[in-house]
Amino acid sequence: MTARRAGRIILAILVGYLLNALLVAATELLLPKLVYGRNYFVADLVTQCAYEIAAGYLCCVIALGRDRQKSDQKIAALGLMILGLAVGGFSLAASWSAEPRWYGTALLCVWVPFIWFGYLLARSSAGPKPASV
């Protein structure tokens, strides 16, 4: 793998994670004004699932690049999953007594499958590799 491809994969992982973080932060500002009590945690979990799909999709679109290496998409998706699980694990430990345990655990559990779903969407929409001339 070239340094350029590796750099693009790292950039894809960071941009995907940043997109997710920005969407979650915006939701954390808006959602408490709309939903209360236990419904807040359910609504937040559902919105975060959608954000994870978007993050996985964007990560994989960026990773694909001009040379259309679909293996780069998988590597980027796996990197995003690992980053999210690491940060999510620390977040779960830090918030263990501050929020419902089912909520923090569920957020961690849905990260991988919904990032993978974003990867599958990106992979299916990428189309065939262009023919070289």
Nearest residue to 69 (alpha-carbon basis) of 132, 13, 123, 17: 123
Distance, CA of 75 to CA of 56 (rounded, Å):
11
Residue type, 112: V
Digitized pLDDT (tens) for each residue of the chain, 133 residues in all = 688 889 999 999 999 999 999 999 999 999 999 998 889 999 999 999 999 999 999 999 999 877 677 788 999 999 999 999 999 999 999 988 888 999 999 999 999 999 999 999 998 886 555 545 4
Check if the beta carbon of residue 2 is closer than 8 Å to that of residue 10.
no
> In angstroms, how far is CA 129 from the centroid of its own chain?
25
What's residue 88's pLDDT?
A: 93
SS3 115: helix
How many Cα atoms sit within 13 Å of 34 on the Cβ side? 9
Kindly report the pTM of this predicted structure.
0.88
